[in-house]
Amino acid sequence: MPVTVSVLCVCLGNICRSPTAEAVLRTRAEEAGLALEVDSAGTGGWHVGHPPDRRAQAAAAARGYDLSRQRARQVVQGDGRFDLILAMDDQNAADLRRLLPPEAHDRIALFLDGAPETAGRSVPDPYYDDRFDHVLDLIEAAADGWVARLKAGR
């Protein structure tokens, strides 16, 4: 199954939302028979090299997603190569427009644009409020939407 689309999921520190989105999107794509290259990164570099937050790992594991091998990294210029760059919130999208070359800007979207009922909204950062299950609910819904769109060639 050849890779047809590359997707980068982006949040602030790459330890909660974007690694969760990476794992969910990869899993949902595999289940749908869609070959995707999926990665994640943060707009900030505070957690580079660290594994995802233990709470994010626990919430994801409870639903069958394994984040344990992921390590945080910061967005770099070369990430402009991705076909689709999915930001977790408006600030991440704005930061991506600052960090990536102009030719990548039209490939930046909000992750929740994948689900009509959540479009235009942000995936809230669960780092301070512990709403990891709520974040997973949103990410799963949007991942299913992106998989359906990408499978249909849109």
Q: Which amino acid is at 82?
A: F
> Pick the catalytic residue: 17, 26, 28, 107?
17
> Pick the catalytic residue: 11, 73, 79, 95?
11
- Annotated catalytic, 79? no
- Annotated catalytic, 17? yes
Nearest to 20 by CA among 119, 104, 139: 139
Q: In the 8-state DSSP scheme, what is residue 14?
A: S
- Annotated catalytic, 125? yes
Nearest to 109 by CA among 145, 133, 134: 145
> Pick the catalytic residue: 39, 53, 79, 125?
125
Catalytic residue positions? 11, 17, 125
